[in-house]
Structure 1
Amino acid sequence: MGTPQGKGCVFCCAKLLFFTKKEEMPLFLAKMYSETIDEEGYAMRNEILLKQLAAFRHNTLSCVEGLTEEEADFIPEGFNNNIRWNLGHIYLDQYDWLYHKTREDNPAPKHYRELFGYGTMPENWQQTPPTLEELRNHLMEQVKVIDQEFGHRLDQELDEPTELGMSTFAEVLPRTFYHEGLHMGAILAIRKAITLQNQKQLK
């Protein structure tokens, strides 16, 4: 007589516990073990990535608390861009990297590319840029959008690999964290320059 299906499943799972090394397992048990560990590992990694995205974005927005519209447009000597541009560029670049190798529509406003795309500068703007409030809202909302639109498919293969061989959304996200950190550094440097200028004006 064959083993009932339910007891067979329990038996297999119980047998799995008796093997301390994957190499000691029968092939079908080793495969089941690997798939279980991989799925759990990927899920944990993806959860960490999304938490990092939220934490880094919180840090970026904290850097512009109390900033005025006038200060957001200030360009210190030696800089090409202001804080408003850096915020808009962080927002646009984040979406660009996630949608770059897919056939899906980038949700960023189309005119943002003329304002905040690579190589743009405020001195060349031909239209009124968004307010700080609009940029803050976009940046906060972006975290939710990425979680909703990509959180369940971070391991999905891109249509084709991007630079450095990155081939999934999960591999692309850390690159965007690095990019955001660079521009957060620029924002902090500009804020320091603003503080120095205000101090000089008070003397």
Structure 2
Amino acid sequence: MKRTFSITRKSREILLNYLNNYSLEQLNKIPEGFNNNLYWNIAHVVVSQQRLVYALSGKPEEMLVSDELVKSYMKGTRPMRDVTAEEVTELKKLLFTTIDKTEEDYNNGMFEHFKEYTTEFGYTLHSVEEGMEFNNYHEGVHLGSMLGIRKFV
């Protein structure tokens, strides 16, 4: 799992570069032909990781993301308003605090029970380890979307 968490942290460094190097206007812009923006993709992967690990392990109360963030950025949502600079600052923190806490909780054996879950891609997750491995794939999918979006912002 050390390698899995290392890959996640590298992904989060790439996502942080977007938050640091694009203006608030660019982060909020939804280009024609797209359903979301750069900020939504980043917030979505943070929320998804928390749900894949904590919610599927029966520990949703341990998630580091608020119910409001989950409702706004879970699968099936799209941006409903522009985000603020304060929200960008908070997301920058969540990129890494969520992974640090997940790794700590994993190492402390918190995720003993995992509810089997079949992803929208048809892959069934049987364990928290598979959940985190799938998370890395999922973050890559959204990074790919962001590579397309950035050309138009």
Class of the TM-score when normalised by the shorter of the 2 chains: 0.7 to 0.9
Counterpart position of 1:107: 64
> Partner letter of residue 7 of structure 2?
Q
Counterpart position of 1:145: 101
- 8 Å CA contact 1:50–1:147 kept in 2: the answer is yes
Do the aligned partners of residues 55 and 98 (structure 1) sit closer, same or farther apart at CA in structure 2, a change above 3 Å counting? same
> Partner letter of residue 146 of structure 2?
I
- Aligned counterpart in structure 1 of residue 51 of structure 2, from 81, 96, 105: 96
Q: Per-residue deviation at 1:97?
A: 0.4
Which protein has the larger Cα radius of gyration, Structure 1 or Structure 2? 1
Q: Per-residue deviation at 1:64?
A: 3.7
For 1:45-84, list aligned pairs within 5 A.
46-84=1-39
The CA RMSD measured in Å over matched residues stands at 2.2
- 8 Å CA contact 1:101–1:161 kept in 2: the answer is yes
TM-score scaled by structure 1?
Answer: 0.64
- Aligned counterpart in structure 2 of residue 133 of structure 1, from 89, 101, 109: 89
SS at match of 2:94: helix
Q: Per-residue deviation at 1:68?
A: 0.9
Do the aligned partners of residues 154 and 102 (structure 1) sit closer, same or farther apart at CA in structure 2, a change above 3 Å counting? closer
TM-score scaled by structure 2?
Answer: 0.83
Q: Is 1:119 aligned with 2:64? A: no
Q: Deviations over 1:5-38 (max 9, x none)?
A: xxxxxxxxxxxxxxxxxxxxxxxxxxxxxxxxxx
SS at match of 2:20: coil
Structure 2, unpaired ranges of 5+: none
Q: Per-residue deviation at 1:121?
A: 1.5
CA distance in 1, matches of 2:124, 2:96: 29
SS at match of 2:75: coil
Q: Is 1:170 aligned with 2:129? A: yes
CA distance in 2, matches of 1:145, 1:90: 16
Runs of 4+ in 1 over 6 A off after TM superposition: none
